[in-house]
Amino acid sequence: MTQRTLIIFGSPHKDGNTAALVDALKETLSGEVVEISAWYANISPCLDCRRCWETAQCALRDDMDLAYADDYDNIVLASPVHYGTLPGKVLSLASRLQTRRGKHLSRSGAKMSEKKAALILTAGGRNDSDTALHHARCVFKMMGARGFEERSVTSMRTDDISATADEAALARAREIGRLLSDI
The values of phi and psi at residue 37, to 5°, are -95, 120
Residue-level pLDDT at 46: 92
* Length of the chain counted residue by residue: 183
Which pLDDT value is given to residue 44? 94
Please report the pLDDT score of residue 51 as a whole number: 87
Predicted local confidence at residue 7, as pLDDT: 98
Three-state DSSP at 42 gives coil
Task: Give the H or E element holding residue 7.
Answer: strand 4-9
Pair 73, 4: CB distance under 8 Å? yes
| 163 neighbors 18 (Cβ within 8 angstroms) | yes
DSSP string for residues in 51-99: HHHHHSS-S--STTHHHH-S--SEEEEEEE-BTTB--HHHHHHHHTTHH
**With the CA atoms of 63, 181, 27 and 22 taken in that order, what torsion angle do they form, in degrees rounded to the nearest 10?**
40
Give, for all 183 residues of the chain, the pLDDT tens digit. Answer: 789 999 999 999 999 999 999 999 999 999 999 999 999 999 999 999 988 888 778 999 999 999 988 899 999 999 999 999 999 999 999 999 988 765 555 555 666 788 999 999 999 977 678 999 999 999 999 899 999 999 999 999 999 999 999 999 999 999 999 999 985
Phi, psi of 171 (to 5 degrees): -65, -40
Task: Supply angle C-alpha 142, 130, 95, rounded to 5.
Answer: 30
| pLDDT given at position 127 | 66
Q: Please tell me the predicted confidence (pLDDT) of residue 102.
A: 57
Rg (CA), the chain: 16
This model's pTM is above 0.85: yes
In which element (H, E) is residue 10 found? Answer: none
Gap between the Cα atoms of 106 and 123, Å rounded:
38
pLDDT at 56 (0 to 100):
78
Q: In order of start, what are the domains of the chain with their CATH numbers?
A: 4-181 (3.40.50.360)
